[in-house]
Chains A and B, each alone.
Chain A
Amino acid sequence: EIVMTQSPVTLSVSPGERATLSCRASQSVSSNLAWYQQKPGQAPRLLIYGASARATGIPARFSGSGSGTEFTLTISNLQSEDFAVYYCQQYNNWPPVTFGQGTKLEIK
């Protein structure tokens, strides 16, 4: 099973600034990685798939990069609605699909 490790656990950033979230895989997952956003009481929302492709309707301020074992989600010009928990997910070696433990992005 591939273990996904996200860092940091909590990230404090001011509105208008840039947030950089990291995700590391215990072995290569190629570009088979997705990022999700989850707000309290809501289902997760797909942001990025294929490591760097934005899902339908996702603003351009969200960008993904990386391949192999190291991945990054960058959120530029943070808006109030962006403060949430973010999860990475690998779907290269499946089953099982595995998720990271999440990064909570909070307002500084």
Chain B
Amino acid sequence: EVQLVESGGGLVQPGGSLRLSCAASGFTFSDYKINWVRQAPGKGLEWVSDISSRGLKIYYADSVKGRFTSSRDNAKNSVFLQMTSLRAEDTAVYYCARDPGYYDSSGYYYSYGLDVWGQGTTVTVSS
């Protein structure tokens, strides 16, 4: 079964840090870009970051740039989101999601949407 499972969420004080993990199974993990998407309580979806299949290209939303760091370990079929300087507005359910797209020879990325999602892990930033 194709699956993504997030972990590492919890309650943290403002200014604190947290490291989320996303473990993959059932597919060739090293072939896929992985995204992080979050959803604040009662709100819509917000893209946070993505990391290419080999981890060479990483992008961030402006709202987290400089505070969050994405990485991956293809040997362990896992992606990580290191979150520092956390703020109340970072409170959300964090999902990892697979993108089955590809880069062409010119470096343009062709996406097919986010076809597999984890169940999410909840991050609460509060004192």
Contacts and interface: CB of A to CB of B under 8 A. Distances in A.
A55 B125 CA distance: 35
Contacts of B120: 43
- Interface SS of chain A: helix, strand, loop or mixed? loop
Contact of B113 (A46, A94, A100): A46
A8 to B, nearest CB: 15
Contacts of B114: 34, 36, 44, 46, 89
Interface of B: 35, 37, 44-47, 50, 59-62, 95, 97, 109, 111-115, 117-120
A102 B47 contact: no
B119 to A, nearest CB: 6
Most chain A CB neighbours (cut-off 10 Å) among B45, B47, B95, B97: B45
B44 A100 contact: yes
A71 to B, nearest CB: 13
A19 B84 CA distance: 43
- Residue in A48, A49, A56, A97 with the greatest tally of chain B CB atoms within 10 Å: A97
Contacts of A36: 45, 113-114
